[in-house]
Amino acid sequence: MALTVGFDLDMTLLDTRPGIRATYDALSAETGTPIDSALAVTRLGPPLLQELAHWFPAERLDAVAARYREMYREHALAPTVLLPGAREAVAAVRSHGGRVAVITGKYEPNARLHLDHAGLDADVLVGDLWAETKGDALREHGADVYVGDHLGDIVGARAAGAVAVAVATGPYGPDALRAAGADVVLDDLTAFPDWLAGYRAGCVPA
């Protein structure tokens, strides 16, 4: 079967922190609720409702999340940048005849806008997933490898029986990623094409 590589989005392919921070600041101004956006962007990965629960009461969460997702389109796309090696990592998968699957916790329509804005092409995009539920999507789409920056991404890869490749571009350093069970730890995606070539040649992940 053809190679399929899954990628997380936030802090794996894209540095979305500036745009997310801008969206939280706008949401705070509109609602009158103080939000420490600098703190919030250090905790990217888990579902949006989990972060919003730090700032809003439970009965407001669904409405606030819907408004955040609307505001996101205005505030978050322009400040977002590709992380080093992201475009080359996607191209490397293509060079091996592979398929690219972006499996993310982000609201899927906004994830699509990010990919379009960044000029990244994915064969599969599935949003609104976290940890084990990422594993469900990875398994459904036959992912051999899943690349992410968060401990939850390692959980998702493990759940799918995929090789867990972790990049230290998010909230965790290499030691924490290894301790969490990553099969491969890279400083960033610039090292991914060489690793993938070795993996395809039958080398053991290291």
What is the per-residue DSSP string for 167-189? ETTSS--HHHHHHTT-SEEESSG
Q: Which two tokens stand for residue 76?
A: 């978050």
What is the chain's Cα-based Rg? 17
Position 205 scores a pLDDT of: 57
Q: What is the pLDDT of residue 180?
A: 98
CA atoms within 13 A on the CB side of 41: 17
- What are the tokens at 25? 């600041």
Q: Which residues of the chain have pLDDT under 50?
A: 206
Distance CA 40, CA 31 (A): 17
Beta strand 14-15 with 81-82 is antiparallel
**How are beta strands 14-15 and 184-186 bridged, if at all?**
unpaired
pLDDT for res 202 = 85
Q: Rounded to whole angstroms, how far apart are CA atoms 106 and 45?
A: 9
